[in-house]
Chains A and B, each alone.
Chain A
Amino acid sequence: MASVIRAKARFLPLGGGWSLLHALSLGLVLFCLWLLLSGFFVTLLLSLGVVSVAFVVWIAHRMDVIDHEGHPTHLTIRALLYWPWLIVEIIKANINVAGAIVRRRMSVNPSVIEVKATQETELGQVIYANSITLTPGTVTIDIDKDIIIVHALTLKAAEDLESGDMDRRVTALEAHPPAEELPPPLPPGGQTK
């Protein structure tokens, strides 16, 4: 079932492709980048920046790459809640893996485990897989439909991942896409592991 939804999510132009909100978001980010890299606040340079940003947004519109995946504006608030938790997890995993490396006899138990990604959209799966890779001790090596194959360095890293906490949080992160991007509803029980 999840694979059907994933296939639809890939082939349907979600959100109609072009949306003004995403274009504005892209333009704002690009203009902030311009200000950051130039550092001069002179009228000539600012107007040149505006022209460049408008040009780039127009090209991106022509390339049809402005969509909810490139600029996930619907995730902003919940992503800000997700990042602190992820940072704490990264620090804990770092201490664990560093402790395993510096032992005289390395206490590593490399293993390959498979975890199920319960996210509905590809964007959610990408966020989940990248979170796994960003946490030291676990590296995503392949994705097969909704099964993520993970190489885990230590036993504790594998256990932490298999508890499914990160999976639940990422699913909650992308839980409520905007109305026009809503995939067909899952049957009850389709989401449970």
Chain B
Amino acid sequence: MALFLEILSWGLLIIGSMMLIIGGIGMVRLPDVFSRMHGAGIIDTMGACTILLGLTFQAGLSIVTLKLVLIVVFIVFTSPTATHALARAALHGGARPQLDEPVEDDPASQGEASSKT
């Protein structure tokens, strides 16, 4: 059982580290600010939460575990709110998402259903 928890913890930490680096690469490579938010989303959800859960299995059942779970809950609840506030600020501040095909100038005010390819 202890070995199983150890292996699980290892796996979660390694997956989380990989996802962190992938999200960081995404934040550097992706073309515009709205796309980079997806990279930040990977860092927040899969990266940080997976690493913290891996640490949870490492700590055994104690008050440390509960604090880690509390941090995960905080991140999960606050990350989408912060991202949405930033996206709204960017949209109102004049940043326009870079799209594959040209669409209307202001996507917020148009009634058309879809602009994807």
Contacts and interface: CB of A to CB of B under 8 A. Distances in A.
- Direct contact between the two chains A and B in their complex (CB within 8 A): yes
A101 B22 contact: yes
A33 B35 CA distance: 36
Interface residues of B, number: 45
Contacts of B97: 110, 112, 141, 151
B46 A136 contact: yes
B99 A137 contact: no
B54 interface: no
A12 to B, nearest CB: 25
Interface string B1-31: 0000000000000000001001101100111
Contacts of B113: 113-114
21 contacts: A36-B66, A91-B46, A94-B42, A97-B26, A101-B22, A101-B25, A108-B30, A110-B97, A133-B79, A136-B38, A136-B46, A139-B37, A139-B41, A139-B84, A140-B84, A141-B91, A144-B108, A151-B35, A153-B30, A155-B116, A158-B116
Interface of B: 19, 22-23, 25-26, 29-32, 34-35, 37-39, 41-42, 45-46, 63, 66-67, 70, 76, 79-81, 83-84, 87-88, 90-91, 97-100, 103, 107-108, 112-117
